Structure 1
Amino acid sequence: MKIIFLVTLVFGMVILSTVGAAEKTLTPQQQRMATCNQQATAKTLKGDERKSFMRECLKSANAKDEKGLTPQQLKMRDCSSQATQQSLKGEDRSKFMSGCLKKQA
């Protein structure tokens, strides 16, 4: 009887410690999702309204993250998106990126 109790106790402690560790390690994306989900629930949104709210909420959260980017990183991102829109690859992309970054400097 004591052995069964001891095994159950140890097993329960392992499960609880695993659950506690999993809750502590949320990625930034998971944190944004949780926050937006709580806001949508508080507004009692459902269906398409909820989907569009979540989409906009996550976009605005991503826009807030851009404040941490340096001006050089912003330039790189803008030039890279232009090169992607133009479907540039290889050496053509490298030349475009170089010119784009010099032009903005």
Structure 2
Amino acid sequence: MSKRLSLIVAGAALVFAVSAVHAADTKSLTPQQQKMSDCAKQNKGKKGDDYKNGVKACLSGTPAAAPAKQTQQEKMKSCNVDAKAKSLSGDARKKFMSDCLKGSP
């Protein structure tokens, strides 16, 4: 009988401990803690610097970081594709490429 009583007492202690931990988890968060939690959820799945930058931007209230600026090589490739799609040649192509690489409309 004492072994059974020991198990009951141990089980009751375990239930009490779990309920105490659960009560601590469900206490209300401060506004800053809630904001941090929300920002972490928004950036779930990101890793490393992407995660850090996403959370930092969220906490500061700035919009998500813009995509990285195109390199000169990427701009050249994109402008070439656009010029080819417009069937440009000669001076018209040169002017288009110049404006496109400068970022002019």
What's the TM-score once normalised by structure 2's chain length?
Answer: 0.49
Whose Rg is larger?
2
Identify the structure with the greater helix proportion. Answer: 1
